[in-house]
């Protein structure tokens, strides 16, 4: 890594760098290769676990960059081998066990599901779903109760130090830490000349606003992000194409504008 890095890219995965349906990323390969050619870094930032991201990072040739895991609740160092340490996750599940039953039953987390259920919910392969269940810091899940019950559920969690964030598919619980928090630490360490962040869901908004340039990647399968402050000045843009196709076009466009 170098302190004279021209550009550092922070990117969400599902629905952004990975396609929504089949989790492929080959449509973004031209931009990834171009980024490597100009000496830019790519930091994966996702709700995925360290074990999941470690495999993807290796496949993409990005193992020499850090990665933000479980929506910012954890960080995977460059070249580090992911290890499943469930201590924090066990504490989180214990908090869920203390929530009143009439509220708790509305939330179904990965820890409440078997691997087959995670496969059906996410479309992941069985092996990938097994990795997704080996969590270290956070609990993604779905909500089936009423909006009033949800508000009460979140209030109970807040009392016990747990925060909830809405993603593209899941309501994710953790003891804190965001993608933007981890992003700030990485930028402080690497000191890139420019930063770009790409995402498609509400839990990416802080990361998008924190970068020099932000890209909201079109996701026809999720709710549109509300207008972000950076869009008013043109610092944040939206893609027309979805997933890795939109990612590729946006990165190529920014590289041209930055003359890299």
List phi, psi (to 5°) of 213.
-135, 140
Task: List CB contacts of 101: < 8 A, sequence separation 6 or more.
Answer: none
State the number of CA atoms in the 13 A half-sphere of 177 facing the CB.
19
Task: Give the residue among 45, 49, 20 at the shortest CA–CA distance from 205.
Answer: 45
d(CA 194, CA 24): 27
**32/130 Cα distance (integer angstroms):** 28
DSSP E strand boundaries for 110-211 = 138-143, 163-166, 171-174, 195-199
Instruction: Give the H or E element holding residue 10.
Output: strand 8-11
Active site residue 22: no
- Helix then strand count (H, E) for the chain reads 10, 11
Choosing from 12, 14, 200, 204, which is the catalytic residue? 12
Residue 214 · residue 196 · CB < 8 Å: yes
Q: Is the dihedral of CA 211, 215, 220, 223 positive or negative?
A: positive
Element (H, E) at 220: none
Whether the CB-CB separation of 1 and 43 falls below 8 Å is answered with: no
The catalytic residue positions are 12
């Amino acid at each position: 890594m170098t302190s004279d890095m021209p550009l550092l890219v922070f990117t969400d995965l599902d629905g952004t760098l990975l396609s929504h349906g089949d989790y492929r990323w080959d449509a973004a390969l031209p931009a990834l290769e171009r980024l490597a050619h100009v000496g830019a870094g790519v930091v994966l930032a996702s709700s995925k676990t360290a074990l999941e991201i470690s495999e993807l990072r290796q496949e993409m040739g990005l193992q020499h960059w850090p990665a933000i895991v479980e929506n910012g609740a954890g960080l995977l160092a460059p070249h580090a081998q992911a290890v499943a340490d469930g201590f924090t996750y066990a504490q989180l599940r214990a908090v869920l066990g203390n929530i009143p039953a009439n509220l708790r039953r509305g939330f179904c987390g990965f820890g409440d599901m078997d691997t087959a259920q995670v496969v059906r919910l996410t479309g992941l392969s069985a092996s990938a779903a097994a990795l997704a269940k080996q969590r270290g810091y956070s609990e993604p899940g779905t909500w089936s109760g009423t909006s009033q019950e949800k508000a009460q559920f979140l209030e109970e969690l807040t009392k016990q130090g747990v925060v909830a964030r809405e993603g593209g598919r899941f309501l994710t619980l953790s003891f804190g830490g965001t993608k933007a928090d981890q992003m700030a630490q990485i930028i402080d360490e690497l000191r890139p000349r420019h930063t770009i962040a790409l995402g498609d869901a509400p839990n990416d908004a802080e990361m998008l606003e924190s970068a020099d340039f932000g890209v909201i990647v079109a996701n026809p399968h999720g709710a549109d992000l509300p207008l972000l402050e950076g869009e008013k000045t043109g610092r944040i843009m939206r893609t027309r194409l979805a997933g890795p196709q939109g990612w590729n076009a946006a990165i190529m466009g920014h590289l041209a504008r930055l003359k890299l």
